Amino acid sequence: MAEAILEVRGLHKHYPLTRGVLFRKEVGSVRAVDGVDLTLRRGETLGVVGESGCGKSTAARLLVSLERPTAGSITYRGEDVTRLSGRALKAVRRNIQMVFQDPYTSLNPRMTVGDIVGEPFDIHPEAAPKGERRRRVRELLDVVGLNPEHINRYPHQFSGGQRQRIGIARGLALRPEIIVADEPVSALDVSVQAQVINLMARLQREFGLSYVFIAHDLSIVRHISDRVAVMYLGRIVESGRDSEIYDHPTHPYTQALLSAVPVPDPRARARRERIILTGDVPSPAAVPSGCRFRTRCWKARDVCAEEVPLLAVPQRLRGGLAGHESACHFAEEKRVVAPTP
Ligand SMILES: Nc1ncnc2c1ncn2[C@@H]1O[C@H](COP(=O)(O)OP(=O)(O)OP(=O)(O)O)[C@@H](O)[C@H]1O
Ligand code: SF4
Ligand SMILES: [Mg+2]
C-alpha cells in the first residue's frame, strides 16, 4: 500500500451562531465539520461523498488551508499543517491546491483566462520567473485540452466543461502534489462530466497527483476513486476501498445512498431494493445525540441515542469483505445493488 500523503484526524469546524446586531451574542454553533478522519495515500483518488450541506466544501477548505479548523490535525509530510503560519504555511499551500465546485461562479468574469490560470504565480512568484509565465500558462491550457490561442478570452466565452478545464489548469499551475476537487463536475451536463473526469484521471497519471474528489452522488466517484469515504452531517460514517463500499456496504446510510444510485440494467433494477429515508437531514446546529444518523435510521435502537459509534473496523466483520471502517453499532453487510447474473 502506498504511504499516506495526508492524514486528517478529528477535524472540526464550528461556526458561531449569533443573534442581535449591535450586541452580538453567541447562541450556539453550526458544526459544519464535526470530527472528520481521513487518510489520503500517494497517487490515489479518495472519493468523499455526502448530501448537500453535510460539510464537504468546508472540509475541502480546511484541507487546502483556506480556513483554520476549530480543532483537529492535518498531517502532511510529517507536519501538522494547522499549526503552521507564514512561509511554512505558504509552502504547504503551494502543494495542496483546490478545484472549486462551480466553474460558473469560481472564475472572475473580468479576468482573462491567461490571468486566471497565471494568478497562482502572482501569489507564489518563486514558482515561475515573470518572463516565463505566459509560456507556462499556454502550456497549461494545452495540457487540459484548451486552445492556447484563447489565452486572452474571458470566462463567458467558454462552455461549462471548458470553464472547469480552466479551473483545473489553475489548480495545476504550481505543480502541486495534492488536488482537492470540490464537486468538479456537479454543475456540468452528464455528457461533459465523463470528459472532465477522464481528463482528471489522465492528469493524475501524468503528474503523479493524489486527489480528494468530492461529490454528492456515489455514482460519480465510482470510476475515479480507489477508496471512498461517506460523509453525513459533518462526519465520515463509512470508508473503504471502492469495491468494499459499493459491493459490501455496512452502514445504513451508505446502503440508502447506494439504493438511490441509477442502475442501467433493467433486470438488476427490478431486483434491487430501494431504501427510502424518512425525515430531513438535521441541522448542523442541532446534531442528534449518539449516532447522528439515528433520526433517519430504520435500525436505530436505544443505544444509538446514547453512544456515539466510532469509525472503526467492526470486530465481528474483521477479515471478511465487509471488514472496513464503519461508524455504526450494528454494522452489517447488506447488498443493495444486485450483482449482474
Ligand atoms: N462561513 C460559514 N458560516 C456559517 N455556516 C456555514 C459557513 N460555511 C458553511 N456553513 C454551514 O455549514 C454546513 C456545511 O456546509 P458546506 O458548504 O460545507 O456543505 P456541502 O456538503 O459542501 O454542501 P453542498 O453539497 O450544498 O455544496 C451548512 O449547514 C452551511 O450552511
Ligand atoms: S448506530 Fe444505530 S442509528 Fe446509527 S447507523 Fe447504526 S443502527 Fe443506525
Ligand atoms: Mg459544497
Both 221 and 256 in one domain: the answer is no
Across the chain, where does the E strand assignment appear? 4-19, 25-41, 45-49, 71-76, 79-80, 96-99, 178-182, 210-215, 227-232, 235-241, 325-326
Whole-prediction pTM: 0.94
> How far, in Å, from the CA of 64 to the mean position of ligand 1?
16
Residue 337 inside a domain? The answer is yes
Residue 23 lies in domain: 4-225
Both 219 and 261 in one domain: the answer is no
User: Ligand 1 within 6 A of 54 CB?
Assistant: yes
> How far, in Å, from the CA of 49 to the mean position of ligand 1?
14
Residue 244 inside a domain? The answer is no
Both 149 and 286 in one domain: the answer is no
3-class DSSP assignment, residue 337: coil
> How far, in Å, from the CA of 101 to the mean position of ligand 3?
7
Both 158 and 25 in one domain: the answer is yes
Both 256 and 189 in one domain: the answer is no
Q: Which DSSP string do the residues of 163-205 spell out, in sequence order?
A: HHHHHHHHHHTT--SEEEEESTTTTS-HHHHHHHHHHHHHHHH
Both 176 and 278 in one domain: the answer is no
Which atom of ligand 1 approaches the CA of 216 most closely? 25
- How far apart are alpha carbons 32 and 10 in whole angstroms? 13
Residue 28 inside a domain? The answer is yes
Both 147 and 274 in one domain: the answer is no
> How far, in Å, from the CA of 293 to the mean position of ligand 2?
6
Give, for all 341 residues of the chain, the pLDDT tens digit: 789 999 999 999 999 988 887 778 888 899 999 999 999 999 999 999 999 999 999 999 999 999 999 999 999 988 999 999 999 999 999 999 999 988 788 899 999 999 999 999 999 999 998 899 999 999 999 999 999 999 999 999 999 999 999 999 999 999 999 999 999 998 898 889 999 999 999 999 999 999 999 999 898 898 899 999 999 999 999 999 999 999 999 999 999 999 988 777 888 777 778 888 888 899 999 999 999 999 999 999 999 999 999 999 999 999 888 999 999 999 999 888 755 54
Both 257 and 213 in one domain: the answer is no
What's the domain count of the chain? 2
Residue 115 inside a domain? The answer is yes
Both 107 and 168 in one domain: the answer is yes
Which atom of ligand 2 approaches the CA of 329 most closely? 1
Both 173 and 211 in one domain: the answer is yes
13, 14, 27, 30: residue to mutate for ligand 1 pocket, most atoms within 8 A of CB: 30
Within 6 A (CB) of ligand 2 lie 252, 291, 293-294, 297, 299-300, 304, 309, 328-330
Both 43 and 156 in one domain: the answer is yes
